[in-house]
Amino acid sequence: MQHARRFLYQSGGVRLTPHKRSGRHLSGSEREEISRGIAAGESARQLAKRLGRSPSTVSREIVRNGGRNRY
C-alpha cells in the first residue's frame, strides 16, 4: 500500500478526464436565449425553431425552471 501511495504522490495523482455533456443537453447560451425569448414574449415553438431544438425540449426546460413567470 505504501508503494502505491508513494507512486501516486510522486506522479501527481490520478488524472481524471473532463466530463462532456451530451449534445442532447441545452447549453448555457441556449438557456440564456430562452430567457431572453420569454422576456420578449416569444412562444416555445418560436424559440425552439430559432435554436434548432425540439419544441418539447424547450417547453420542458421552461416548466422545469418554474414556468414562464419565473424563468
Domain ranges of the chain: 28-66
Q: For position 2, what pLDDT does the model report?
A: 83
Residue 62 and residue 71 in contact, taking contact as beta carbons nearer than 8 Å? yes
Band (56; pLDDT cuts 50, 70, 90): very high
| Main-chain phi, psi angles of 63, to 5 degrees | -65, -40
The single residue listed with the C-alpha cell 430562452 is 34
Please write the tens of the pLDDT for every residue from 12-38.
Answer: 888 888 888 788 899 999 999 999 999
What local confidence, expressed as pLDDT, does residue 10 receive?
A: 87
> What mean pLDDT value characterizes the chain?
92
Backbone angles phi, psi at 15, to 5 degrees: -90, 120
Tell me if 46 sits within 8 A of 25, measured CB to CB.
no
How much is the pTM? Answer: 0.69
